[in-house]
Amino acid sequence: VSTAISDRATWLKGQTAGCSTVLPFPPQPCRLVLLGAPGIGKGTQAELLCRRLRSCHLSTGDVFRAIRYDPPDMLSPAMQQALQQMTSGQLVDDQTVLDVIRERSRCFECQYGFVLDGFPRTVLQAEQLDQTLRQLRIKLDAVISFELPMEMLIERLSGRRTCPQCKATFHVTSRPPRKQDVCDSCGGKLIQREDDRPEAVRVRLEAYTQSTAPLENYYREDGRLLAVSGDGSPEAVHERVLDALRPQRAVATAQRTG
């Protein structure tokens, strides 16, 4: 099995760069949006899906990280705006995110499809995305919503331990240090950051749930939402996603050939 993965050149560098994936055979394109609370492992699932389906991983986090390494005068006005907001410690606003996505919309037409991760975040953004895709005559195959009970998410997120000296991070169950409460890299004493305490995590998760509910409803109403349990290993969750997608993809193939 080839592990070729798209280099996402369009996504990371802008409209003038073309994505390239060298593949021995053409699989069916798959166009997905991923939704899920912090700690659910959405980024990992996006990577596994892209490796399997050859799709471009369109992560807004990656775009905004990538621009820090570009010469500022090479950036588009939207990217300059995003950079400015980030360097002043703000969140990148809705309109700027949309502008950046639009600049990269050629990635929506990539041969093997795409997996959107981190966008849309609001119903407004979802509507704009639908509009852009309609113009390109592209249909989303599904919106995958990863789900896990709040208590399990709190347990995952509050297990993080940080080294105050070298900033290394660990996790009490999924990435424990060799010696309990001691940093592997520098021997410093590990702490639980204020943000990682269960009470703080709960507040963050509740805010997430509240702000995402309308978005989930938007996709549920027209039957595009696929709920997938985020419980278990990344591989187990990945297999669950592929199972959930199978009927969707069969329909898409039938429509294409029929």
Annotate 144-178 with DSSP letters as a single string: EEEE--HHHHHHHHTTEEE-TTT--EEETTTB--S
Catalytic residue among 13, 54, 104, 160: 160
Contacts of 187 (CB under 8 A, 6+ apart): none
Catalytic residue among 52, 106, 121, 202: 121
Residue 131 or 185 having the CB closest to Zn ion: 185
Residue 193 bears catalytic tag: yes
Residue 81 or 105 having the CB closest to Zn ion: 105
Residue owning tokens 């979802």: 126
Residue 55 or 145 having the CB closest to Zn ion: 55
Residue 48 or 107 having the CB closest to Zn ion: 107
| Minimum distance of Zn ion from residue 113's CB (angstroms) | 9
Residue 204 bears catalytic tag: yes
| Minimum distance of Zn ion from residue 64's CB (angstroms) | 17
Catalytic residue among 8, 54, 204, 240: 204
Residue 121 bears catalytic tag: yes
- The contacts found for 217-223 with CB under 8 angstroms, 24 or more apart, are 218/123, 218/126, 218/127, 219/33, 219/35, 219/126, 219/143, 219/145
- Binding positions for Zn ion, rule: CB under 5 A: 10, 19, 56, 107, 110, 163, 165-166, 168, 183, 185-186, 188
| Minimum distance of Zn ion from residue 20's CB (angstroms) | 9
Contacts of 45 (CB under 8 A, 6+ apart): 34, 36, 144, 146, 234, 237, 238, 241
- Residues labelled as active-site residues: 42, 121, 160, 193, 204
